[in-house]
């Protein structure tokens, strides 16, 4: 029996980038397999957004190569752009348009069949149906973020970059985003996302990569990363619920009761 090993959806080798003589990326190597979620961790200013911008053709690297969605970043930037979608760190939605109009606009730009139905499906999936006809200027921060992520899913890109997709979202909305991310990975999409929430990476990503001092200094599954530290001692600790667990329990309880009255 022969097994063919598919090449990774994203293959990054030796990417370097300096700004004004200051080195930000000093040789980044990283692979993301199709159907997997890789979380990129790093302190503020580590270069996460810079790397995501390079991989989505918005910024040129000084050195190194990358293959994204089967296309070479340097020689086939148009094909790379067609196979990816990017949700930037700051929401890129049009304030004047309604949520539904924003989605329809992207669907038309991407030549998607039936833009109205696609927009309505995404509004429902991201719990924005009621707000869909309102100008985005009236949305809360979390609603904008959800709309922004919904926009990035139009056209079923094979590679998705999400730069801090859950920053500023309430716990319920963060769970929605992660459910969507996992569902997309389940359909074969490769997802590279950055996050400051370490516990989210721990729970939901297949692999975690740590960007520090311009390089990936650790990259692996949670089990692999745990092996980098000395073995743990067994201690008796009484587990208290986290504030997030309490928040979710309280808000869900209230919502359920409201639904009944």
Question: Interface with ligand ATP by CB under 6 A: which residues?
Answer: 19, 24, 42, 44-50, 89
Whole-number Cα distances in Å, 66 to 16, 127, 190: 11, 36, 15
Which CB, 22 or 260, lies closer to ligand ATP? Answer: 22
We find the least distance from the C-beta atom of residue 50 to ligand ATP, in angstroms, to be: 3
- Please, where are the H alpha helices in the chain? 48-55, 77-83, 99-109, 115-125, 141-152, 171-186, 198-204, 222-226, 243-260
Beta carbon nearer to ligand ATP, 29 or 76: 29
**Residue 96 backbone phi and psi in degrees, to 5:** -75, -35
Burial (CB count within 10 angstroms: exposed 0-12, middle 13-18, buried 19+), residue 44: exposed
Q: How far is the CB of 191 from Mg ion (least distance, A)?
A: 17
Give the nearest distance from C-beta 89 to ligand ATP in angstroms.
Answer: 6
Which of ligand ATP, Mg ion, none is residue 98 near (CB under 5 to 8 Å by kind)? none
Site string for Mg ion, 70-109 (x = CB under 5 A): -------------------x--------------------
Of 115 and 165, the one with the shorter C-beta distance to Mg ion is 165
3-state percent breakdown (helix, strand, coil) of the chain, nearest 5: 40, 25, 40
- Closest to Mg ion by CB, 49 vs 102, is 49
Pick the closer one to ligand ATP by CB: 4 or 44: 44
Rounded to whole angstroms, the Cα distance separating 99 from 144 reads 9
- Note whether 49 binds Mg ion by CB under 5 A: yes
Residue 50 contact, options Mg ion, ligand ATP, none, Cβ 5-8 Å cut-off depending on partner type: ligand ATP
- Asked if residue 169 lies in contact with residue 177, where contact means CB atoms within 8 angstroms, the answer is yes
Closest to ligand ATP by CB, 48 vs 174, is 48
Size of the site for Mg ion (CB under 5 A): 3
CA–CA distance, 87 with 156 (Å, rounded to integer): 14
Cα dihedral 73, 74, 78, 79, rounded to 10, equals -50
Minimum Å gap between C-beta 44 and Mg ion is 8
166 forms part of the interface with Mg ion (CB under 5 A): no
Q: Which does 61 bind (CB under 5 to 8 A by kind): Mg ion, ligand ATP, none?
A: none
**DSSP 8-state secondary structure symbol assigned to residue 180:** H
CB of 48 to Mg ion, least distance (A): 5
Q: How far is the CB of 167 from ligand ATP (least distance, A)?
A: 9
For residue 2, what is the DSSP state? Answer: -
User: Is the separation of the CB atoms in 37 and 217 below 8 Å?
Assistant: no
- Token code pair at residue 173: 């909305």
Closer by beta carbon to ligand ATP, 50 or else 189: 50
Binding residues vs Mg ion (CB under 5 A): 48-49, 89
């Amino acid at each position: 029996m022969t097994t063919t090993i598919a090449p990774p959806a994203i293959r990054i080798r030796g990417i370097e980038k300096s700004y004004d003589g200051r080195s930000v990326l000093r040789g980044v190597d990283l692979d993301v397999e199709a159907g997997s979620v890789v979380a990129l961790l790093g302190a503020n200013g580590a270069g996460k957004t810079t790397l995501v911008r390079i991989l989505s053709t918005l910024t040129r690297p000084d050195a190194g190569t990358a293959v994204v969605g089967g296309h070479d970043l340097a020689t086939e930037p148009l094909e790379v752009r067609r196979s990816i979608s990017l949700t930037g760190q700051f929401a890129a939605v049009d304030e004047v348009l309604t949520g539904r109009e924003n989605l329809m606009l992207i669907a038309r730009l991407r030549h998607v069949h039936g833009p109205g139905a696609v927009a309505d499906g995404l509004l429902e999936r991201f719990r924005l149906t009621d707000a869909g006809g309102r100008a985005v200027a009236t949305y809360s921060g979390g609603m904008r973020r959800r709309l922004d992520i919904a926009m990035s899913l139009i056209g079923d890109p094979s590679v998705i970059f999400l730069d801090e997709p859950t920053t500023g979202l309430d716990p319920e909305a963060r769970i929605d985003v992660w459910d969507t991310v996992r569902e997309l990975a389940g359909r074969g999409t490769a997802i590279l996302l950055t996050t400051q929430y370490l516990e989210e990476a721990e729970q939901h990503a297949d692999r975690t990569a740590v960007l520090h001092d311009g390089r990936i200094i650790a990259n692996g599954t949670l089990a692999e990363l745990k092996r980098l530290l000395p073995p743990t001692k067994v201690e008796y600790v009484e587990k208290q619920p986290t504030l997030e667990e309490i928040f979710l329990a309280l808000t869900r309880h209230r919502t359920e009761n409201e639904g009944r009255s």
